[in-house]
Amino acid sequence: MKKTLPFIFLLVLLALTGNKTYAQQLTAKEMVNKSYNLFLGKSSFSVMSMTIVRPTWQRSIKMQNWSMGDNYYLTLITQPTRDKGEVFLKSKKNMWNFIPAINRLIKIPPSMMMQSWMGSDFTNNDLMKQNSIVTDYKHTFAGSEKLEGYNCAVINLDPLPDAAVVWGKIKMWIIKKNLITMKVEYFDTHGKLVKTETASQIKILGGRLLPSHLEMISNTKKGHKTIIDILHQEFNVKGIKQNFFSIQNMRNIRPQSF
């Protein structure tokens, strides 16, 4: 009896703290990786609206996106009329753009990666959705913070010595419970805050718990931000294979009904 009591006590203790420690047992890198993969899957289809907000004007674009893993991504612009039919393709490390009005296919070179995508606060680089946020940085916990009522882990990302990244530092707030990234701050190599990405309106999308409202806010230009609203999301879409993400398909793709 005397020998087993401490043993039982230990078991009970473990049982009580089991749930919490599981999440806490994730390293910072694992948390970032899991959060990054929330929007990905074997394949996915989504419908989004993007609104570019500026001090004196505003513009909205509607698009449909298909993806496979994180190497293949196809975006078709459906609104407004003038931009309708424009297609962006990410295939491994290359990015292409097709404009039907002039029937031209443009390969976007690495030198254009930091240019804004369609005039928004997202760059071509952001759209490439490279998992460099997992592989090119050193991840360290920097405490906890409550955001919008959610208990978040604060993680600092510092670039690895040989990493070819644009940012000097990134700071992420990830909800401990469901691993959704609530906020990301991007700093340049001089330590100046350049832009902030926030997520909100968490709901079930395509069977997963995801934020449906994302904002990319510029910290260098007052009143500049880009808002993305996810209108429809599906995962593990049928019939999407690698040849879907091809240059030929850029000319043929049509909007999908949902």
Partner 1 sequence: MTASAVVLALFLALIMRSMQFGSYEQMIRAGVNQTGDLQVHDTGYWANQSIDRAFFYRKKLGETLHGIKEIKSILPGLQTFSLASYKKQTKGVLISGIDAAVYNKQNHLSNKIIRGKYLNPNKNEVLLGDKLAEFLKMHVGDTLVLLGQGYRGITAYGIYRVAGIFHLPSIEMNSEIVYMNLKTAQNFVYPYQPGLLTSLSVFIKDPGQLQTVKTETEHRIGPNYEVITWKTMLSDILQTIKADNVSGQIMLLILYIIAAFGIFSTVLMMTMEKRRQYAIMVSIGMEREKLVWVSIFETFIISVIGIVIGLILASPIIYYLHFHPIPITGEMAKMYLQFNIAPVLPFSIKAHIFLSQTIIILVLSLLSALYPIIYLSKFNVLKAFRH
- Segment near partner 1 (CB under 8 A); pick from 4-12, 96-104, 191-199, 231-239: 96-104
Tokens, residue 32: 């970032």
Q: Which of 116, 135, 189, 236 binds partner 1 (CB under 8 A)?
A: 116
- Segment near partner 1 (CB under 8 A); pick from 12-20, 116-124, 230-238, 241-249: 116-124
Q: Judged by CB, which is closer to partner 1: 103, or 243?
A: 103
Q: Judged by CB, which is closer to partner 1: 104, or 190?
A: 104
Q: Which of 83, 158, 188, 229 binds partner 1 (CB under 8 A)?
A: 83
Contact 226, 120 (CB under 8 A): yes
Q: Which of 38, 99, 166, 209 binds partner 1 (CB under 8 A)?
A: 99
Q: Judged by CB, which is closer to partner 1: 82, or 254?
A: 82
CA–CA separation, 253 and 214 (whole Å): 26
Phi, psi of 39 (to 5 degrees): -85, -5
Nearest distance from C-beta of residue 68 to partner 1, angstroms: 26
Q: Which of 37, 40, 51, 59 binds partner 1 (CB under 8 A)?
A: 59
Beta bridge partners of 228: 50, 214
CA–CA separation, 97 and 105 (whole Å): 6
- Site map for partner 1, 4-23, x if CB under 8 A? --------------------
What stretch of H or E contains 28? helix 28-37
**Rg of the chain in Å (alpha carbons):** 21
Which residues, numbered 118-147, are part of the site for partner 1 (CB under 8 A)?
Answer: 118-120
60 makes contact with partner 1 (CB under 8 A): no
Tokens, residue 22: 């599981």
Q: Judged by CB, which is closer to partner 1: 115, or 144?
A: 115
Pick the closest to residue 199 from 221, 177, 216 (CA basis).
Answer: 216
CA–CA separation, 113 and 98 (whole Å): 16
Q: How far is CA 44 from the centre of its chain?
A: 13
Nearest distance from C-beta of residue 252 to partner 1, angstroms: 20
Q: Which residues contact 221 (CB under 8 A, 6 or more apart)?
A: none
- The residue ranges that bind partner 1 (CB under 8 A) are 52, 54, 57, 59, 82-83, 86, 99, 101-102, 104, 106, 116, 118-120
